[in-house]
Amino acid sequence: MAAPRRAAGEPVAVASAVARLLYANGLTTERLIETVERLGRAFGLTISVLPAWGEIVLRIEGDALPGSPVVETVAAAPAGVEMNKVTLTLNIVDAVAAGRMDARQALQALAKVDKVAPVSVLRTIAMNGAGAAALGIIFGASDTATLLITFFSACAGGAARRSLAHISANFLTQPLCAALLAGVIAALASRLLPDADPYLIALCPCMILVPGPHLLNGALDLARLRIALGVARFSFAGLIILVICTGLIAGLALGRESLPRPSAVVAVPLLIDMLAAGVAVAAYGTFFSMPWRTLAIPIAIGMLAHASRWLALADGASVAGGAFIACLLVGVIVTPVANRLHLPFAAVAFASVVSLLPGAFLFRLAAGLVTLMSAGEAANPALLVPLVIDATTAAMILLAMAFGLIVPKMMLEHLFPVWSGVAPAARR
């Protein structure tokens, strides 16, 4: 057997482009592998896919391929989420598999997909503000001043992120600057508008920045025993959360403030909670470049999920229990929907349950650790109690969400492949 060498030819170029577009834009690893393998079969090739952080290695064999087996290393990092590109790429793969498109036509179509622009700046900024304000309503904001400042802060953060995207390719710069801006605005609001809620003004614009799809894709990789890639995804998401906490605390410190404790919990009526959840889902769909025509589906799923959580909490369930019930429902519904509509499961599922993420507990934990460090040896041991509570609560919610979203997906695709939108011989 000939030694592997770098591959050439149009079918290999198509496979490389498909792998790169899907991997870099949020598709789950399992579905990425199945899609590239299916594409290879359409070209009469056998393709093995070995994904790692920063690259994908394709080992390609076929009687019509000179020098088979050959190897193609594709540079790509799973750091972005653009649903539109994923959908368009999967449609091209379907066309090739059905014989409606040859390799040359596929290459031309993929080149166009690669150049698809994200959603407009104006839509991004407006939905950034609307999503943060909607989260404020879900978390109990009732005064106009708090909601307006939250909206303005998130809009400013969205504008900063889009501007920085043209300056730096570093994925950490954007959330750091947006969180810093949110902290500064919250500090100013606490001084100038004492009737507003500075806790929610600081929290909600930063909740918009939490990298939920990367956490969910990492959990899926760990569940399928892709340990190295799962750990890499979690590390990337953890770095983003760390810079969000750093930016928020630094912004508050610039205004000589610290993250305040939350005010008394305000009960939100069921209908208001559902409507606000719909707005938050629409905002996240915008961040992930979801077309307007498909946005109604995750909005409906998110509203239904929030209704189930609201009813569970009203019946006495814990915060983690309510999150588990909502995520279980989302996992059952999103699995067939995402597969049939060619949407990234992690992005749709996360958008539907965004307000359930324990961002508030993580931000309070970070602020509490800074307070404890500042106190030094004179720190009161009682300061540890809220830190332990926040850390434990955040961990329990994350575990509940991971199990609620992942278990239904894996079970449905294994037991009911046709209903869940996967072929019996091509489970994702």
Q: Over the stretch 332-348, which tens digit does the pLDDT of each residue have?
A: 999 999 888 888 888 88
Q: Is 426 helix (H, G, I), strand (E, B) or coil?
A: strand
CA-wise closest residue to 147 among 179, 195, 211: 195
pLDDT band at 165 (very low <50, low <70, confident <90, very high): confident
Place of tokens 């934990």: 365
Within a 10 A sphere around the Cβ of 291, how many other Cβ atoms? 12
How many angstroms separate the CA atoms of 272 and 130, rounded? 14
Please state which of the ranges 67-81, 165-179, 375-389 shows the lowest mean pLDDT.
375-389
| pTM tops 0.75 | yes
Q: Where are the domains of the chain?
A: 10-114, 121-415
Residue 203 has pLDDT above 60, yes or no: yes
Q: Is 245 helix (H, G, I), strand (E, B) or coil?
A: helix
- Give the mean model confidence (pLDDT) for residues 167-176: 90
- Give the mean model confidence (pLDDT) for residues 114-131: 92
Output 65 or 87, whichever has higher pLDDT.
87
Residue 105 has pLDDT above 90, yes or no: yes
Q: Is 151 helix (H, G, I), strand (E, B) or coil?
A: helix
How many angstroms separate the CA atoms of 241 and 249, rounded? 12
- Give the mean model confidence (pLDDT) for residues 314-318: 91
Residue 1 has pLDDT above 70, yes or no: no
- Give the mean model confidence (pLDDT) for residues 405-411: 92
Answer for the pair 177, 160: CB distance below 8 angstroms, yes or no: yes
Residue 312 has pLDDT above 90, yes or no: yes
Share of the chain above pLDDT 70, in %: 96
Residue 190 has pLDDT above 60, yes or no: yes
- Give the mean model confidence (pLDDT) for residues 406-420: 89
Place of tokens 């001043």: 145
Within a 10 A sphere around the Cβ of 46, how many other Cβ atoms? 15
Place of tokens 């009161």: 380
Q: Over the stretch 155-164, which tens digit does the pLDDT of each residue have?
A: 999 999 999 9
Q: What is the pLDDT of residue 423?
A: 61
Place of tokens 């000939």: 2
Number of H helices and number of E strands within the chain? 16, 3
CA-wise closest residue to 35 among 379, 339, 390, 409: 339
Q: What is the pLDDT of residue 150?
A: 96
Residue 351 has pLDDT above 50, yes or no: yes
pLDDT band at 7 (very low <50, low <70, confident <90, very high): very low
Q: What is the pLDDT of residue 75?
A: 93
Q: 288: which DSSP letter?
A: T
Q: What is the pLDDT of residue 427?
A: 42
Q: Name, in order, each residue with C-beta under 8 angstroms of 298's C-beta and a sequence gap of 6 or more.
A: 281, 285, 290, 334, 348, 351, 352
Q: What is the pLDDT of residue 406?
A: 92
Cα–Cα distances in angstroms (integers) from residue 245 to residues 22, 110, 350, in the given order:
30, 38, 20
Residue 134 has pLDDT above 70, yes or no: yes
